[in-house]
Amino acid sequence: MSKKYEILELLKHEEYTIKEIAGHLKFNENDVRVYINRLKKDGLIKEIGKKKRYIIYAAKEQESQNNDHYNKIKEGFNQFNNLFESLIKNSQIIIKNSQIDNFKLLIKEKIDINLIKELNSEMSF
């Protein structure tokens, strides 16, 4: 298991500061800081308070993580859809509406399948 996921697993059970995580897992504090930033960027952990000058971190609930991933993918699909619509409007090529609808459905199904795979893989770490 990578250091990043060791930290995440630790934070799923209790809240800790960077210093506490480093001590508990025998990691360098700077390494922990890097992994904490990555976990925050991935939406897997959150800041829940302070202990003296240290920030306390905890894992986000799984449902919240799933919603974050779903919303990111949905946003990406909407951006893609807008780009595609713009391309069609500005294109000199005439495409039948049924072809456009079939293409959009194919892309949406592909995104849904990838979302399911991603969520399943994240639930099993």
Radius of gyration of the chain (CA): 21
Q: pLDDT tens across 64-106, in order?
A: 555 666 677 777 777 777 777 777 676 655 556 666 667 667 6
For residue 63, what pLDDT is reported? 47
Express as a percent the part of the chain with pLDDT over 70: 62
C-alpha count within 13 angstroms, C-beta hemisphere, residue 13: 7
Q: Could you tell me the residue ranges of all domains in the chain? A: 3-59, 62-123
Structure tokens belonging to residue 112: 């849904």
Count the Cβ atoms, other than its own, within 10 Å of residue 104: 15
Q: Which helix (H) or strand (E) holds 75?
A: helix 62-90
Please give the model's pTM, rounded to 2 decimal places: 0.50
CATH code 1.10.10.10 for 3-59:
yes
